[in-house]
């Protein structure tokens, strides 16, 4: 049988066709536009998602036996607000995760309602990207539109609805709405009251691997697929990407070393995190996960290489770096502010510790180490929750550097594994489809059989000791400089 994985991203939809053995048969990508009505605003037309999805499925399945397509599932950009009227028509363009118009609404939720209450209701604090502040913004600035809301949906859930006719969501994606009681995996009555919504205005909640329905007759006919094709709920992009890397089950961890850096830790249990230093979301495997996000990971190295020392020869610049743990130059990688653990948009990138004998290689090494130390900040929080991590899986553009993988292994004191797939969210969605269709009993079973480690970088205990001392210095730099960052921002 064949399974379709859909990754509904911010700039494009990526579709993947996988057989029951995990072999990828075809990959198709279709782009769609983003609209910026005002500075800091970001919107899309949900109809563009659906058109790209349908066109992509047709291309994806054109050369296969369509009768063998058994299921389809989704990964989706999180937090986006899609609102439908009583006829299930889109009321206004979707407001996306990277839209920054809701600062006043977040201040109201965190400061006037109180971050302690919001966290007690949802497990998280209000951030501008989340869905609930967007709804408050519409309520204040577009009251006529707010009054017309019959259903609130997330981007990938709108796509699933168009295919199945079912208003559905899943626990992992819903965790990022600030409307879900994450611990109990149900809608928060307190948050609905604060926003001014009724529970029937939200979608039915599923686990990510559960079947929500089958393909509508008219949709199946247009695609040339059987009406029996199952539509599986899917999940938020980070959770489904984690499935695609096999980061499921207690204590499994994935580090994504892309433009931003994401530390994703799977956990069998829910836990409250002090000061909301990590996101606490439901996971696509049926359990929970913690997530730390740093805003400038590989982006820091790209900035240093491309813009400052003006070279594209990344490997050549790293070739002279031999002595790990002995560099006295430090770099704070806060070029775009920082999320975890500081949640401070005023934080700034900083070099400190240079002397007259500091070399270009020392500076390059400091950038790589600074990102690794910032990732460790998330690990330190996780340790306090009692989750022990002995090895991680790593992906993203930065993971192509053997040196950076070695630095991370020693800074975090873990084994660093690379796996046999780089398709992430789309592959994870296809795995969820296979589980939903009954090919595998659980997400953990499917990941264990389909995803294999192909390379491991191990830590050196002596270098670990050196980096522990350096991290003790690094973690003191931000609190020491915080007031200066605020003054600079003024």
Q: Kindly state the tokens that stand for 454.
A: 């192909």
Beta strands 230-232 and 69-76: pairing type?
parallel
CA distance 414 to 399: 15
Q: 308 by DSSP, 3-state: which?
A: helix
Kindly give, in sequence order, each residue whose CB lies less than 8 Å from that of residue 462, ignoring residues fewer than 6 positions away.
none
Length of the chain counted residue by residue: 490
Please identify which of the residues 237, 285, 377, 417 carries the catalytic annotation: 237
Measured CA to CA in angstroms, residue 312 lies from 249, 261, 295, 433, 440 at distances of: 39, 21, 22, 40, 44
Which H or E element spans position 429? helix 424-436
Task: Check if 85 is active-site.
Answer: no
**DSSP single-letter state for residue 21:** T
Q: What is the DSSP string of 77-140?
A: -SS-BEEE-TTS-B-SPEEPTT--TTHHHHHIIIIIIIHHHHHHHHSS---TTSHHHHHHHHHH
Kindly give, in sequence order, each residue whose CB lies less than 8 Å from that of residue 71, ignoring residues fewer than 6 positions away.
3, 4, 211, 229, 230, 231, 232, 433, 434, 436, 437
Residue 289 assigned to a binding site: no
Contact indicator for 25, 81 with CB cutoff of 8 Å? no
Beta strands 415-419 and 453-457: pairing type?
antiparallel
CA distance 270 to 281: 8
| Omega cis (within 30) before 25 | no
Burial bucket for residue 374 (CB in 10 Å: 0-12, 13-18, 19+): buried
Q: Strand pairing partners for 2?
A: 19, 69
The beta-strand segments (E) located in 154-295 are 168-170, 180-181, 186-187, 204-206, 211-214, 230-232, 235-236, 253-257, 261-267, 279-282, 288-294
Residue 79 assigned to a binding site: yes
Burial bucket for residue 490 (CB in 10 Å: 0-12, 13-18, 19+): exposed
Q: Which residues are annotated as a binding site for substrate?
A: 78-79
Q: Which residues are annotated as a binding site?
A: 78-79
Point out the residues that are catalytic.
237
């Amino acid at each position: 049988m064949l399974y379709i994985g859909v990754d509904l991203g911010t700039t494009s939809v990526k579709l993947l066709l996988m057989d029951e053995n995990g072999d990828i048969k075809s990959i198709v990508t279709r782009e769609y536009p983003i609209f910026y009505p005002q500075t800091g605003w970001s919107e899309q037309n949900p109809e563009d998602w659906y058109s790209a999805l349908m066109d992509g499925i047709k291309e994806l399945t054109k050369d296969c036996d369509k009768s063998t397509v058994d299921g389809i599932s989704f990964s989706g950009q999180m937090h986006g607000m899609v609102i439908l009227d009583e006829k299930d028509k889109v009321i206004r363009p979707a407001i996306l995760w990277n839209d920054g118009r809701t600062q006043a609404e977040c201040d109201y939720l965190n400061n006037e309602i109180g971050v302690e209450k919001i966290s007690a209701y949802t497990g998280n604090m209000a951030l501008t990207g989340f869905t609930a502040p967007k709804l408050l913004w519409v309520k204040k600035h577009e009251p006529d539109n707010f009054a017309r809301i019959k259903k609130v949906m997330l981007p990938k859930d709108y796509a699933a609805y168009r295919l199945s006719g079912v208003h559905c969501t899943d626990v992992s994606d819903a965790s990022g709405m600030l409307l879900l009681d994450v611990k109990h995996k149900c809608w928060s009555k307190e948050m609905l009251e604060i926003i001014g919504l009724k529970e029937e205005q939200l979608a039915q909640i599923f686990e990510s691997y559960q079947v929500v329905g089958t393909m509508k007759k008219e949709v199946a006919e247009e695609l040339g697929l059987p009406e029996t094709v199952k539509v599986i709920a899917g999940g938020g992009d980070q959770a489904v990407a984690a499935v695609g890397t096999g980061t499921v089950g207690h204590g499994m961890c994935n580090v994504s070393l892309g433009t931003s850096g994401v530390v994703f830790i799977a956990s069998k249990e829910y836990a409250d995190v002090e000061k909301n230093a990590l996101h606490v979301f439901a996971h696509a495997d049926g359990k929970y996960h913690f997530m730390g996000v740093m805003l400038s990971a590989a982006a820091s190295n790209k900035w240093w290489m491309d813009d400052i020392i003006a070279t594209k020869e990344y490997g050549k610049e790293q070739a002279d770096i031999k002595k790990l743990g002995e560099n006295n130059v430090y770099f704070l990688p806060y070029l775009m502010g920082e999320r975890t653990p500081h949640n401070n948009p005023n934080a700034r990138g900083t070099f400190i510790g240079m002397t007259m004998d500091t070399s270009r290689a020392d500076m390059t090494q400091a950038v790589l180490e600074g990102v690794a130390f910032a990732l460790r900040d998330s690990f330190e929080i996780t340790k306090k929750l009692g989750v022990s991590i002995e090895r991680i899986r790593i992906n993203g553009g930065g993971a192509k550097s053997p040196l950076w993988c070695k630095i991370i292994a020693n800074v975090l004191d873990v084994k660093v594994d690379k796996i046999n797939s780089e398709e992430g969210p789309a592959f994870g969605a296809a795995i969820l489809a296979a589980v939903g269709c009954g090919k595998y009993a659980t997400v953990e079973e499917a990941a264990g059989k389909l995803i294999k480690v192909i390379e491991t970088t191990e830590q050196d205990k002596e270098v670990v000791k050196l980096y522990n001392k350096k991290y003790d210095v690094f973690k003191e730099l931000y609190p020491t400089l915080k007031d200066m960052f605020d003054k600079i921002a003024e």
